[in-house]
Structure 1
Amino acid sequence: MTFEELQPEVTAITTAVSLSREEKLLAICQLLNKQIAHYNWVGFYFANPETKTLHLGPYIGAPTDHTVIPFGKGICGQVAVSNANFVVPDVAAQDNYIACSLTVKSEIVVPLFVNGQNIGQIDIDSHEIDPFTEADERFLEFVTHEIAKLY
């Protein structure tokens, strides 16, 4: 499926009245993981501004020990501070990277804004080197925009 074809599916999930917010987030993870070949781990982290930590939310993929990430640490922690997308073509080239699995070769993280505040992010890992394009970024910005409507 193309990103354009996936957009209405994402919207259908976020507007489904029969699903809780957590179920919607998990359904989006499942959809992206299934339909986009280079999305091997798809998950959400949510910010706790008081403790300056990110907490793992719904995800699909290999289990991770990284359920709490301090702001500034790793790719996700850096996005919590920068409020900007972060595309990592090759995780081996990153000094401030938290290794979740030896199979992860690249990562993209896009922040989730609600009323101008970064409340979390979508995090995608890939087993391929440099698979993420500007189209991935635009699509994931669309996804986070749709999810923001849940808050």
Structure 2
Amino acid sequence: MPFKDLRPKVGAILNNDTISSEKKMTQVCELLQESIGYYDWVGFYFANHDTKTLHLKAFAGEPTDHTEIPFGKGICGQVAESNANFVVPDVKAQDNYIACSIYVKAEIVVPLFKDGKNIGQIDIDSNTVDPFSEADERFLEWVNERIAEIL
């Protein structure tokens, strides 16, 4: 499904005042994972700046053991420190990669900002090598901006 068609669906989820923010995020993860063929795992991690750790709050896809990630470790941990998008076309080429599944071939992580502070990120794993484009980055930045509005 094209990103332009997903925007109103994401908006409808986030505008539903009858469910919690965490449930909204889970539903967004499920929508993205079900609608975009190469989004095999979608999750939101949130930062605890005191302990310098990321904590998984919502996801869609296979369960993961990586529910807490130290800043600096793996792609997610690096984004917690860099405050910049990180697109990994081939995870085998990354030295500082945390393997979540033997099937994952690529990853994209986009930081989530609230009031100018990096409070978390959306993390997407793909079982396809090099599937992510600039359009994915722009769409995920938009998703994170909408998520920040409900937090």
After TM superposition, the score normalised by the length of structure 1 is 0.99
Q: Matched residues in 2 for 1:11 and 1:68: separation?
A: 28
Instruction: Determine helix, strand or coil for the equivalent of 1:96.
Output: coil
Cα deviations by residue, 1:93-149 (Å, 9 ceiling, x for unpaired):
000000000000000000000000000000000000000000000000010000000
Residues 8-87 of structure 1: pairs in structure 2 closer than 5 A: 8-87=8-87
2:4 corresponds to: 4
Moved more, 6-15 or 71-80: 6-15
What do you get for the CA RMSD once the two structures are aligned?
Answer: 0.5
Q: Matched residues in 2 for 1:30 and 1:56: separation?
A: 15
Cα deviations by residue, 1:25-60 (Å, 9 ceiling, x for unpaired):
000001000100000000010000000000011101
Segments ≥4 residues shifted beyond 6 Å: none
Structure 2: unaligned runs, 5 residues or longer: none
Q: Matched residues in 2 for 1:51 and 1:131: separation?
A: 33
Matched AA of 1:35: S
The alpha carbon displacement at 1:91 in A equals 0.2
The alpha carbon displacement at 1:13 in A equals 0.8
Between the aligned residues of both structures, percent identity stands at 66
Q: Matched residues in 1 for 2:134 and 2:120: separation?
A: 21
Matched AA of 1:97: Y
Matched AA of 2:48: N
